[in-house]
Amino acid sequence: MTAVYTLKVVTDFAASHILEGHPGKCSRLHGHNWQVEAEIEATRLDEIGMAIDFADLKAALSEIVDAMDHRHLNDLPAFSGVNPTAEHVARYVYRALGEQLNGPGLVVAAVTIWETPRASVRYTES
């Protein structure tokens, strides 16, 4: 049986968006204090017993999130041609983080985006 370690870090950012084609009030300019949870799975530990240093994981996630902080998501290249829904934000963060971190024994397992304290989406790929 292979041991799997799941690490999670949480951060947040504030940003506005407009959901084009939405039948309700989300079609108007509005913003959220988004919360981002990133889960990393590791099957190996380094020589001191760590899958990845939490500081390195937080730095990688911060680089992605900081580019969205206090921005209008519709204006960002990452969301060109797609509505910046929570689903698309989660997919973007998941893939961007994976580009930085995925490697032997380490993979981004899931990203959860919270638009509000009561509404979230979790994105993963199999």
Is the overall model pTM greater than 0.75, yes or no? yes
pLDDT score for 104: 95
Q: Give the containing element (helix H, strand E) for 40.
A: strand 30-42
* pLDDT of res. 121: 98
The CATH superfamily holding the domain 5-34+53-123 is 6-pyruvoyl tetrahydropterin synthase/QueD (3.30.479.10)
Per-residue pLDDT, 126 = 83
Domain ranges of the chain: 5-34+53-123
Q: Mark 26-62 as b/e (b = at least 16 C-beta within 10 Å).
A: beeeeebebbbbbbbebeeeeeeeebbeeeebeebbe
Per-residue pLDDT of the chain in tens (126 residues, 90 and over written 9) = 999 999 999 999 999 999 999 999 999 999 999 999 999 999 999 999 999 999 999 999 999 999 999 999 999 999 999 999 999 999 999 999 999 999 999 999 999 999 999 999 999 998
